[in-house]
Chains A and B, each alone.
Chain A
Amino acid sequence: MPPTEEDFELELRSLPGVLNVGMGHRENGDVDSVTLIVHGQDPGSIQGVALQIASLYFPDAVVTVEDADLDTADRIGENGRVALVRAAFEGPENACEVQLNFEGAIGTGRSSSGPLIGGVEATLAALRDLGFDVPYHLIGAVNVATERGWPVMVTLRSNLHDVDRIGIAQSDGDLASAAKATLDALNRYLTLPRNFRPRGS
Protein backbone atom coordinates (compact mmCIF):
# COMPACT_ATOMS: atom_id res chain seq x y z
CA MET A 1 0.00 0.00 0.00
CA PRO A 2 2.47 2.67 -1.09
CA PRO A 3 1.30 6.17 -0.19
CA THR A 4 0.09 8.20 -3.15
CA GLU A 5 -0.70 11.85 -3.69
CA GLU A 6 -4.30 10.81 -4.33
CA ASP A 7 -4.53 9.16 -0.92
CA PHE A 8 -2.87 12.20 0.63
CA GLU A 9 -5.57 14.42 -0.81
CA LEU A 10 -8.31 11.99 0.19
CA GLU A 11 -7.00 11.88 3.74
CA LEU A 12 -7.00 15.67 3.93
CA ARG A 13 -10.48 15.89 2.45
CA SER A 14 -11.71 13.38 5.03
CA LEU A 15 -10.86 15.78 7.85
CA PRO A 16 -13.96 17.38 9.39
CA GLY A 17 -15.09 20.60 7.73
CA VAL A 18 -12.66 20.46 4.80
CA LEU A 19 -14.40 21.67 1.63
CA ASN A 20 -11.49 22.08 -0.73
CA VAL A 21 -7.83 21.16 -1.06
CA GLY A 22 -5.48 22.99 -3.39
CA MET A 23 -1.92 21.87 -4.07
CA GLY A 24 1.19 23.38 -5.56
CA HIS A 25 3.99 21.23 -6.99
CA ARG A 26 7.72 21.44 -7.46
CA GLU A 27 9.28 20.73 -10.82
CA ASN A 28 10.00 17.16 -9.72
CA GLY A 29 6.30 16.63 -9.05
CA ASP A 30 6.48 16.71 -5.26
CA VAL A 31 3.84 18.70 -3.45
CA ASP A 32 5.34 21.85 -1.95
CA SER A 33 2.23 23.70 -0.78
CA VAL A 34 -1.18 22.65 0.42
CA THR A 35 -4.12 24.94 1.09
CA LEU A 36 -7.21 23.68 2.86
CA ILE A 37 -10.50 25.57 2.89
CA VAL A 38 -12.54 24.62 5.91
CA HIS A 39 -15.90 25.58 7.34
CA GLY A 40 -17.34 25.12 10.80
CA GLN A 41 -14.07 23.92 12.34
CA ASP A 42 -11.20 25.62 14.09
CA PRO A 43 -8.62 26.25 11.34
CA GLY A 44 -5.81 25.98 13.90
CA SER A 45 -6.67 22.46 14.98
CA ILE A 46 -7.24 21.34 11.39
CA GLN A 47 -3.87 22.77 10.45
CA GLY A 48 -2.21 20.75 13.22
CA VAL A 49 -3.66 17.49 11.94
CA ALA A 50 -3.03 18.42 8.30
CA LEU A 51 0.62 19.15 9.10
CA GLN A 52 0.96 15.72 10.68
CA ILE A 53 -0.56 14.05 7.63
CA ALA A 54 1.59 16.11 5.27
CA SER A 55 4.71 15.11 7.20
CA LEU A 56 4.05 11.50 6.20
CA TYR A 57 3.71 12.19 2.50
CA PHE A 58 5.53 15.44 1.71
CA PRO A 59 7.47 16.56 4.80
CA ASP A 60 8.61 19.84 3.23
CA ALA A 61 5.16 20.98 2.12
CA VAL A 62 3.84 24.23 3.54
CA VAL A 63 0.30 23.79 4.84
CA THR A 64 -2.12 26.67 5.17
CA VAL A 65 -5.73 26.53 6.28
CA GLU A 66 -8.31 29.16 5.40
CA ASP A 67 -11.75 29.54 6.87
CA ALA A 68 -14.44 29.76 4.20
CA ASP A 69 -16.90 32.46 5.04
CA LEU A 70 -20.07 30.72 4.00
CA ASP A 71 -22.26 33.35 5.61
CA THR A 72 -22.78 34.78 2.16
CA ALA A 73 -23.98 31.43 0.92
CA ASP A 74 -26.25 31.09 3.90
CA ARG A 75 -27.77 34.43 3.05
CA ILE A 76 -28.73 33.28 -0.44
CA GLY A 77 -32.05 32.29 1.05
CA GLU A 78 -32.83 36.00 1.64
CA ASN A 79 -34.24 35.64 5.12
CA GLY A 80 -36.24 32.53 4.44
CA ARG A 81 -37.28 33.36 0.92
CA VAL A 82 -36.58 31.28 -2.13
CA ALA A 83 -33.77 32.77 -4.18
CA LEU A 84 -32.54 32.27 -7.69
CA VAL A 85 -29.13 30.63 -7.75
CA ARG A 86 -28.67 30.03 -11.42
CA ALA A 87 -30.55 30.38 -14.69
CA ALA A 88 -29.08 29.02 -17.89
CA PHE A 89 -30.42 28.91 -21.43
CA GLU A 90 -29.33 26.64 -24.23
CA GLY A 91 -30.28 28.18 -27.55
CA PRO A 92 -30.33 25.29 -30.04
CA GLU A 93 -32.66 23.20 -27.87
CA ASN A 94 -34.62 26.26 -26.67
CA ALA A 95 -34.02 24.73 -23.25
CA CYS A 96 -33.49 26.33 -19.90
CA GLU A 97 -32.57 25.26 -16.42
CA VAL A 98 -33.29 27.12 -13.19
CA GLN A 99 -31.76 26.41 -9.79
CA LEU A 100 -33.29 27.80 -6.62
CA ASN A 101 -32.08 27.90 -3.04
CA PHE A 102 -34.27 27.67 0.01
CA GLU A 103 -32.51 27.53 3.37
CA GLY A 104 -29.57 25.73 1.81
CA ALA A 105 -31.65 23.19 -0.13
CA ILE A 106 -31.37 23.33 -3.89
CA GLY A 107 -34.19 22.71 -6.35
CA THR A 108 -33.72 22.37 -10.08
CA GLY A 109 -36.33 22.84 -12.80
CA ARG A 110 -36.15 22.57 -16.56
CA SER A 111 -38.24 23.49 -19.53
CA SER A 112 -37.84 23.62 -23.28
CA SER A 113 -40.25 26.51 -23.93
CA GLY A 114 -37.66 29.22 -24.38
CA PRO A 115 -36.29 31.79 -21.96
CA LEU A 116 -39.53 33.60 -21.06
CA ILE A 117 -42.30 30.97 -20.79
CA GLY A 118 -39.65 28.31 -20.18
CA GLY A 119 -38.17 30.45 -17.42
CA VAL A 120 -41.50 30.52 -15.62
CA GLU A 121 -42.11 26.79 -16.16
CA ALA A 122 -38.60 25.88 -15.00
CA THR A 123 -38.97 28.05 -11.91
CA LEU A 124 -42.28 26.40 -11.01
CA ALA A 125 -40.66 23.00 -11.53
CA ALA A 126 -37.71 24.01 -9.32
CA LEU A 127 -40.08 25.14 -6.56
CA ARG A 128 -41.81 21.76 -6.74
CA ASP A 129 -38.40 20.08 -6.72
CA LEU A 130 -37.76 21.87 -3.42
CA GLY A 131 -40.92 20.31 -2.05
CA PHE A 132 -43.22 23.31 -2.22
CA ASP A 133 -46.84 22.82 -3.05
CA VAL A 134 -47.29 25.18 -6.03
CA PRO A 135 -50.89 25.10 -7.25
CA TYR A 136 -50.35 27.78 -9.91
CA HIS A 137 -50.09 27.89 -13.65
CA LEU A 138 -49.04 30.55 -16.09
CA ILE A 139 -51.81 32.38 -17.88
CA GLY A 140 -51.36 34.10 -21.17
CA ALA A 141 -47.94 35.08 -22.31
CA VAL A 142 -45.05 36.37 -20.31
CA ASN A 143 -45.01 40.09 -20.93
CA VAL A 144 -41.90 42.03 -21.60
CA ALA A 145 -42.54 45.67 -20.97
CA THR A 146 -41.96 47.71 -24.11
CA GLU A 147 -38.92 45.86 -25.41
CA ARG A 148 -36.36 43.22 -24.62
CA GLY A 149 -34.12 44.06 -21.72
CA TRP A 150 -36.96 45.74 -19.85
CA PRO A 151 -38.77 44.28 -16.85
CA VAL A 152 -40.61 41.01 -17.30
CA MET A 153 -44.14 40.56 -15.93
CA VAL A 154 -45.60 37.20 -15.06
CA THR A 155 -49.18 36.36 -14.18
CA LEU A 156 -49.91 33.08 -12.46
CA ARG A 157 -53.36 31.74 -11.69
CA SER A 158 -54.17 29.49 -8.79
CA ASN A 159 -55.55 26.06 -9.64
CA LEU A 160 -57.59 26.13 -6.45
CA HIS A 161 -59.06 29.63 -6.31
CA ASP A 162 -59.79 32.30 -8.83
CA VAL A 163 -56.78 34.29 -7.72
CA ASP A 164 -53.99 35.69 -9.87
CA ARG A 165 -50.49 36.43 -8.65
CA ILE A 166 -48.45 38.98 -10.56
CA GLY A 167 -44.70 39.32 -10.42
CA ILE A 168 -42.29 41.71 -12.07
CA ALA A 169 -38.50 41.64 -12.27
CA GLN A 170 -35.61 42.83 -14.35
CA SER A 171 -32.35 40.93 -14.34
CA ASP A 172 -29.57 39.77 -16.63
CA GLY A 173 -31.52 38.49 -19.62
CA ASP A 174 -35.05 37.25 -20.21
CA LEU A 175 -34.61 33.92 -18.47
CA ALA A 176 -33.32 35.30 -15.18
CA SER A 177 -35.94 38.06 -15.33
CA ALA A 178 -38.73 35.52 -15.92
CA ALA A 179 -37.46 33.33 -13.07
CA LYS A 180 -37.23 36.26 -10.67
CA ALA A 181 -40.63 37.57 -11.72
CA THR A 182 -42.10 34.14 -10.96
CA LEU A 183 -40.50 34.20 -7.52
CA ASP A 184 -41.73 37.77 -7.03
CA ALA A 185 -45.25 36.56 -7.73
CA LEU A 186 -45.14 33.59 -5.41
CA ASN A 187 -42.56 34.12 -2.67
CA ARG A 188 -44.97 35.66 -0.16
CA TYR A 189 -47.53 32.92 -0.69
CA LEU A 190 -45.37 29.83 -0.39
CA THR A 191 -45.87 27.65 2.63
CA LEU A 192 -43.04 25.60 4.06
CA PRO A 193 -42.61 22.28 2.28
CA ARG A 194 -43.79 19.26 4.16
CA ASN A 195 -40.96 17.32 5.78
CA PHE A 196 -38.72 20.37 5.34
CA ARG A 197 -35.60 20.20 7.46
CA PRO A 198 -33.60 23.40 7.85
CA ARG A 199 -29.92 23.23 6.99
CA GLY A 200 -27.80 21.79 9.76
CA SER A 201 -30.68 20.08 11.54
Chain B
Amino acid sequence: MSGATVEHADAFGHAYEPWLFQTMIDELSTGELGISFVYSVLELLAERHGLKDAVVVITDGAMGPQAFRLGRETVDAEQLAKLGSIPGVYCDPDIVPFGERDAVHTACRLSLSLHYARYSAAHDPLTNIANRRYFDTALHTAAVQSSRYGWHFTLVLADLNGFKAVNDSSGHAVGDDLLRTFGFALRQSVRRGDTAARIGGDEFAVILSNAESNEVSGFTDRLSSRLAMSGKSVAFTIGTASSPRDSSNPDELLRIADARLYEKKARDHA
Protein backbone atom coordinates (compact mmCIF):
# COMPACT_ATOMS: atom_id res chain seq x y z
CA MET B 1 0.00 0.00 0.00
CA SER B 2 2.98 2.31 0.46
CA GLY B 3 3.13 2.98 -3.26
CA ALA B 4 -0.53 3.95 -3.52
CA THR B 5 -1.31 7.52 -4.44
CA VAL B 6 -3.85 9.11 -2.15
CA GLU B 7 -5.32 12.45 -3.10
CA HIS B 8 -6.95 14.92 -0.76
CA ALA B 9 -10.68 15.25 -1.10
CA ASP B 10 -11.89 18.50 -2.59
CA ALA B 11 -14.35 20.63 -0.68
CA PHE B 12 -17.26 18.31 -1.38
CA GLY B 13 -15.51 15.23 -2.70
CA HIS B 14 -15.61 11.79 -1.18
CA ALA B 15 -12.00 10.82 -1.69
CA TYR B 16 -10.17 9.33 1.27
CA GLU B 17 -8.44 11.66 3.65
CA PRO B 18 -4.82 10.45 3.77
CA TRP B 19 -4.68 10.42 7.59
CA LEU B 20 -7.94 8.49 7.74
CA PHE B 21 -6.84 6.04 5.10
CA GLN B 22 -3.59 5.44 6.99
CA THR B 23 -5.50 4.92 10.25
CA MET B 24 -7.67 2.29 8.57
CA ILE B 25 -4.60 0.52 7.22
CA ASP B 26 -2.97 0.60 10.67
CA GLU B 27 -6.11 -0.75 12.30
CA LEU B 28 -6.43 -3.53 9.76
CA SER B 29 -2.82 -4.56 10.32
CA THR B 30 -3.49 -5.12 14.02
CA GLY B 31 -7.08 -6.28 14.04
CA GLU B 32 -10.40 -5.67 12.41
CA LEU B 33 -12.44 -2.58 11.80
CA GLY B 34 -15.16 -2.22 14.38
CA ILE B 35 -16.62 0.03 17.05
CA SER B 36 -13.19 0.80 18.52
CA PHE B 37 -12.14 2.26 15.19
CA VAL B 38 -15.06 4.71 15.32
CA TYR B 39 -13.81 6.05 18.65
CA SER B 40 -10.19 6.09 17.45
CA VAL B 41 -11.16 8.18 14.44
CA LEU B 42 -13.12 10.64 16.59
CA GLU B 43 -10.06 10.97 18.86
CA LEU B 44 -7.79 11.64 15.89
CA LEU B 45 -10.24 14.10 14.35
CA ALA B 46 -10.46 15.98 17.65
CA GLU B 47 -6.67 16.01 17.96
CA ARG B 48 -6.13 17.23 14.40
CA HIS B 49 -8.52 20.16 14.73
CA GLY B 50 -8.37 20.84 18.46
CA LEU B 51 -12.03 19.95 18.89
CA LYS B 52 -13.76 20.03 22.25
CA ASP B 53 -16.34 17.51 21.16
CA ALA B 54 -17.26 15.31 18.22
CA VAL B 55 -20.22 13.06 17.54
CA VAL B 56 -20.83 10.80 14.58
CA VAL B 57 -24.37 9.66 13.83
CA ILE B 58 -24.56 6.57 11.68
CA THR B 59 -27.73 5.23 10.16
CA ASP B 60 -27.28 1.57 9.53
CA GLY B 61 -30.16 -0.41 8.12
CA ALA B 62 -29.62 -3.32 10.47
CA MET B 63 -29.35 -1.36 13.72
CA GLY B 64 -31.14 1.93 13.24
CA PRO B 65 -29.50 5.29 13.99
CA GLN B 66 -26.50 5.12 16.30
CA ALA B 67 -24.64 8.05 17.86
CA PHE B 68 -21.01 7.75 18.98
CA ARG B 69 -19.37 10.49 21.00
CA LEU B 70 -15.73 11.33 21.52
CA GLY B 71 -14.29 9.45 24.51
CA ARG B 72 -17.17 6.94 24.61
CA GLU B 73 -19.17 9.59 26.40
CA THR B 74 -22.94 9.58 26.49
CA VAL B 75 -24.63 11.91 24.05
CA ASP B 76 -26.92 13.86 26.33
CA ALA B 77 -30.62 13.88 25.59
CA GLU B 78 -30.65 17.54 24.52
CA GLN B 79 -27.82 17.01 22.05
CA LEU B 80 -29.46 13.87 20.71
CA ALA B 81 -32.76 15.69 20.31
CA LYS B 82 -30.95 18.30 18.22
CA LEU B 83 -29.18 15.75 16.06
CA GLY B 84 -32.10 13.33 15.87
CA SER B 85 -31.27 10.59 13.44
CA ILE B 86 -29.49 12.77 10.93
CA PRO B 87 -26.38 10.96 9.77
CA GLY B 88 -23.14 12.93 9.80
CA VAL B 89 -20.22 14.14 11.86
CA TYR B 90 -20.86 16.99 14.29
CA CYS B 91 -17.95 18.93 15.70
CA ASP B 92 -17.51 21.56 18.37
CA PRO B 93 -16.31 23.98 17.14
CA ASP B 94 -17.76 23.40 13.68
CA ILE B 95 -14.51 23.88 11.78
CA VAL B 96 -13.88 20.56 10.04
CA PRO B 97 -14.13 20.75 6.22
CA PHE B 98 -17.06 18.96 4.58
CA GLY B 99 -14.90 16.54 2.63
CA GLU B 100 -13.13 15.39 5.77
CA ARG B 101 -16.39 15.01 7.69
CA ASP B 102 -17.87 13.02 4.83
CA ALA B 103 -14.83 10.75 4.73
CA VAL B 104 -14.93 10.22 8.51
CA HIS B 105 -18.64 9.46 8.41
CA THR B 106 -18.18 6.95 5.58
CA ALA B 107 -15.29 5.22 7.36
CA CYS B 108 -17.23 5.00 10.64
CA ARG B 109 -20.31 3.64 8.90
CA LEU B 110 -18.19 1.04 7.14
CA SER B 111 -16.56 0.00 10.42
CA LEU B 112 -19.87 -0.40 12.23
CA SER B 113 -21.33 -2.37 9.32
CA LEU B 114 -18.31 -4.66 9.23
CA HIS B 115 -18.48 -5.24 12.97
CA TYR B 116 -22.18 -6.00 12.81
CA ALA B 117 -21.71 -8.34 9.84
CA ARG B 118 -18.86 -10.15 11.59
CA TYR B 119 -20.88 -10.53 14.78
CA SER B 120 -24.00 -11.66 12.91
CA ALA B 121 -22.03 -14.24 10.93
CA ALA B 122 -20.97 -15.98 14.15
CA HIS B 123 -23.98 -15.49 16.45
CA ASP B 124 -27.51 -16.76 16.66
CA PRO B 125 -29.71 -13.65 16.55
CA LEU B 126 -32.28 -14.93 19.04
CA THR B 127 -29.95 -16.00 21.83
CA ASN B 128 -26.71 -14.14 21.02
CA ILE B 129 -24.70 -17.33 21.54
CA ALA B 130 -22.64 -18.87 18.73
CA ASN B 131 -24.49 -20.14 15.68
CA ARG B 132 -24.10 -23.48 13.89
CA ARG B 133 -21.49 -22.16 11.49
CA TYR B 134 -19.22 -20.92 14.29
CA PHE B 135 -19.83 -24.05 16.34
CA ASP B 136 -18.81 -26.37 13.48
CA THR B 137 -15.52 -24.50 13.12
CA ALA B 138 -14.92 -24.48 16.88
CA LEU B 139 -15.64 -28.22 17.16
CA HIS B 140 -13.33 -28.98 14.25
CA THR B 141 -10.54 -26.90 15.83
CA ALA B 142 -11.03 -28.55 19.23
CA ALA B 143 -10.99 -32.02 17.63
CA VAL B 144 -7.79 -31.29 15.71
CA GLN B 145 -6.08 -30.02 18.87
CA SER B 146 -7.33 -33.02 20.81
CA SER B 147 -6.03 -35.39 18.17
CA ARG B 148 -2.69 -33.65 17.79
CA TYR B 149 -1.90 -32.65 21.37
CA GLY B 150 -4.18 -34.93 23.39
CA TRP B 151 -6.09 -31.97 24.80
CA HIS B 152 -9.34 -33.07 26.41
CA PHE B 153 -12.72 -31.59 25.80
CA THR B 154 -16.30 -32.70 26.18
CA LEU B 155 -19.08 -32.01 23.77
CA VAL B 156 -22.48 -31.51 25.40
CA LEU B 157 -25.65 -31.56 23.32
CA ALA B 158 -28.78 -30.24 25.01
CA ASP B 159 -32.38 -30.44 23.88
CA LEU B 160 -35.33 -28.66 25.50
CA ASN B 161 -37.99 -31.08 26.74
CA GLY B 162 -41.45 -30.60 25.27
CA PHE B 163 -40.44 -27.53 23.32
CA LYS B 164 -42.59 -28.37 20.31
CA ALA B 165 -45.66 -28.69 22.50
CA VAL B 166 -44.99 -25.28 24.08
CA ASN B 167 -44.51 -23.72 20.65
CA ASP B 168 -47.71 -25.30 19.33
CA SER B 169 -49.89 -24.57 22.35
CA SER B 170 -48.58 -21.19 23.52
CA GLY B 171 -47.25 -19.71 20.29
CA HIS B 172 -43.85 -18.86 18.86
CA ALA B 173 -43.37 -15.78 21.05
CA VAL B 174 -43.47 -17.94 24.19
CA GLY B 175 -41.23 -20.52 22.48
CA ASP B 176 -38.74 -17.83 21.52
CA ASP B 177 -38.75 -16.53 25.06
CA LEU B 178 -37.86 -20.02 26.34
CA LEU B 179 -35.02 -20.28 23.83
CA ARG B 180 -33.72 -16.86 24.86
CA THR B 181 -33.89 -17.86 28.54
CA PHE B 182 -32.03 -21.08 27.90
CA GLY B 183 -29.44 -19.35 25.72
CA PHE B 184 -28.83 -16.72 28.37
CA ALA B 185 -28.50 -19.36 31.09
CA LEU B 186 -25.96 -21.16 28.90
CA ARG B 187 -23.94 -17.96 28.50
CA GLN B 188 -23.93 -17.55 32.27
CA SER B 189 -22.95 -21.18 32.89
CA VAL B 190 -19.99 -21.69 30.57
CA ARG B 191 -16.46 -20.80 31.56
CA ARG B 192 -14.18 -18.49 29.61
CA GLY B 193 -12.79 -20.59 26.77
CA ASP B 194 -15.89 -22.79 26.45
CA THR B 195 -18.20 -22.40 23.46
CA ALA B 196 -21.99 -22.36 23.72
CA ALA B 197 -24.02 -22.51 20.53
CA ARG B 198 -27.54 -22.91 19.24
CA ILE B 199 -27.25 -25.49 16.48
CA GLY B 200 -30.90 -26.10 15.64
CA GLY B 201 -34.44 -25.11 16.64
CA ASP B 202 -34.26 -26.16 20.29
CA GLU B 203 -30.89 -27.89 20.08
CA PHE B 204 -27.90 -26.42 21.83
CA ALA B 205 -24.28 -27.52 22.02
CA VAL B 206 -21.46 -26.69 24.37
CA ILE B 207 -17.77 -27.42 24.00
CA LEU B 208 -16.34 -27.71 27.50
CA SER B 209 -12.62 -27.15 27.13
CA ASN B 210 -10.19 -29.22 29.15
CA ALA B 211 -13.01 -31.30 30.64
CA GLU B 212 -13.77 -35.01 30.82
CA SER B 213 -17.34 -36.33 30.83
CA ASN B 214 -17.29 -36.74 34.62
CA GLU B 215 -16.80 -32.99 34.91
CA VAL B 216 -20.01 -32.21 33.03
CA SER B 217 -22.12 -32.30 36.18
CA GLY B 218 -20.58 -29.03 37.40
CA PHE B 219 -21.72 -27.35 34.21
CA THR B 220 -25.23 -28.83 34.30
CA ASP B 221 -25.60 -27.84 37.96
CA ARG B 222 -24.72 -24.25 37.09
CA LEU B 223 -27.12 -24.34 34.14
CA SER B 224 -30.00 -25.74 36.23
CA SER B 225 -29.34 -23.17 38.91
CA ARG B 226 -29.37 -20.29 36.39
CA LEU B 227 -32.58 -21.57 34.85
CA ALA B 228 -34.19 -21.82 38.27
CA MET B 229 -33.17 -18.20 38.95
CA SER B 230 -34.85 -17.10 35.73
CA GLY B 231 -38.17 -18.13 37.21
CA LYS B 232 -39.16 -19.99 34.06
CA SER B 233 -39.76 -23.68 33.85
CA VAL B 234 -37.27 -25.01 31.32
CA ALA B 235 -36.41 -28.71 31.39
CA PHE B 236 -33.68 -30.15 29.20
CA THR B 237 -31.91 -33.39 28.38
CA ILE B 238 -28.23 -33.73 27.55
CA GLY B 239 -25.98 -36.18 25.78
CA THR B 240 -22.20 -36.01 25.96
CA ALA B 241 -19.14 -37.27 24.13
CA SER B 242 -15.52 -36.69 25.14
CA SER B 243 -12.42 -36.34 23.07
CA PRO B 244 -10.07 -38.09 22.69
CA ARG B 245 -11.67 -40.86 24.78
CA ASP B 246 -14.79 -41.39 22.61
CA SER B 247 -13.36 -40.07 19.37
CA SER B 248 -11.36 -37.22 17.90
CA ASN B 249 -13.54 -36.96 14.84
CA PRO B 250 -16.06 -34.10 15.06
CA ASP B 251 -18.81 -35.92 13.16
CA GLU B 252 -18.35 -39.01 15.27
CA LEU B 253 -18.46 -36.99 18.48
CA LEU B 254 -21.71 -35.36 17.38
CA ARG B 255 -23.19 -38.74 16.52
CA ILE B 256 -22.22 -40.26 19.85
CA ALA B 257 -23.51 -37.32 21.90
CA ASP B 258 -26.73 -37.26 19.90
CA ALA B 259 -27.30 -41.02 20.36
CA ARG B 260 -26.73 -40.70 24.14
CA LEU B 261 -29.13 -37.77 24.31
CA TYR B 262 -31.92 -39.74 22.61
CA GLU B 263 -31.20 -42.83 24.71
CA LYS B 264 -31.70 -40.70 27.79
CA LYS B 265 -34.87 -39.16 26.40
CA ALA B 266 -36.23 -42.62 25.60
CA ARG B 267 -35.38 -43.83 29.13
CA ASP B 268 -37.10 -40.81 30.66
CA HIS B 269 -40.23 -41.42 28.60
CA ALA B 270 -40.30 -45.12 29.40
Q: Return the chain A residue nearest B10 by Cβ.
A: A93
Indicate which residue in A6, A10, A14, A68 contacts B81 across the interface (CB closer than 8 Å).
A68
Residue A192 at the chain B interface, CB threshold 8 Å = no
Say how far A13's CB is from chain B's closest CB, in angstroms.
6
Q: Return the chain A residue nearest B115 by Cβ.
A: A10
Indicate which residue in A14, A90, A101 contacts B63 across the interface (CB closer than 8 Å).
A14
Cα–Cα, bound, A44→B202 (Å): 29
Residue B36 at the chain A interface, CB threshold 8 Å = yes
Chain A residues, Cβ within 8 Å of B130: 1
Indicate which residue in A13, A20, A93 contacts B11 across the interface (CB closer than 8 Å).
A93
B11-35 with Cβ < 8 A to chain A = 11-12, 34-35
Say how far B187's CB is from chain A's closest CB, in angstroms.
5
1/0 per residue, CB under 8 A from B, across A2-15: the answer is 10001101110110
Contact present for B84 and A104 (CB under 8 Å): yes
Residue A112 at the chain B interface, CB threshold 8 Å = yes
Interface of A is mostly: mixed
Interface centre among B86, B97, B116, B188 (most CB of A within 10 A): B86
Cα–Cα, bound, A71→B82 (Å): 10
Residue A88 at the chain B interface, CB threshold 8 Å = yes
Residue A184 at the chain B interface, CB threshold 8 Å = no
Say how far A80's CB is from chain B's closest CB, in angstroms.
16
B60-91 with Cβ < 8 A to chain A = 63-69, 72-75, 77-78, 80-88
Contact present for B128 and A6 (CB under 8 Å): no
Chain B residues, Cβ within 8 Å of A18: 66
Residue B122 at the chain A interface, CB threshold 8 Å = yes
Interface of B is mostly: mixed
Indicate which residue in B12, B74, B81, B192 contacts A22 across the interface (CB closer than 8 Å).
B74
Say how far B74's CB is from chain A's closest CB, in angstroms.
3
Q: Return the chain B residue nearest A17 by Cβ.
A: B64
Residue B182 at the chain A interface, CB threshold 8 Å = no
Chain A residue total in the interface (Cβ 8 A) = 44
Contact present for B116 and A68 (CB under 8 Å): no
Cα–Cα, bound, A90→B11 (Å): 8
Q: Return the chain A residue nearest B134 by Cβ.
A: A1
Contacts A11-B128, A14-B63, A56-B188 given; does A72 touch B86 at CB 8 Å? no
A44-76 with Cβ < 8 A to chain B = 52-53, 55-56, 66-74, 76
Say how far B219's CB is from chain A's closest CB, in angstroms.
16
Residue B119 at the chain A interface, CB threshold 8 Å = yes
Residue B184 at the chain A interface, CB threshold 8 Å = yes
Chain A residues, Cβ within 8 Å of B10: 93
Residue B203 at the chain A interface, CB threshold 8 Å = no
Contact present for A69 and B81 (CB under 8 Å): yes
Indicate which residue in B83, B119, B195 contacts A7 across the interface (CB closer than 8 Å).
B119
Contacts A19-B66, A19-B80, A20-B75 given; does A9 touch B98 at CB 8 Å? no
Can you offer 27 A-B residue contacts whose CB atoms are under 8 A? A2-B192, A6-B35, A6-B115, A10-B119, A11-B128, A19-B66, A19-B75, A19-B80, A19-B85, A20-B74, A20-B80, A22-B69, A22-B73, A35-B74, A37-B74, A52-B184, A66-B74, A66-B77, A68-B77, A68-B81, A69-B81, A70-B81, A71-B81, A97-B98, A99-B88, A101-B84, A104-B84
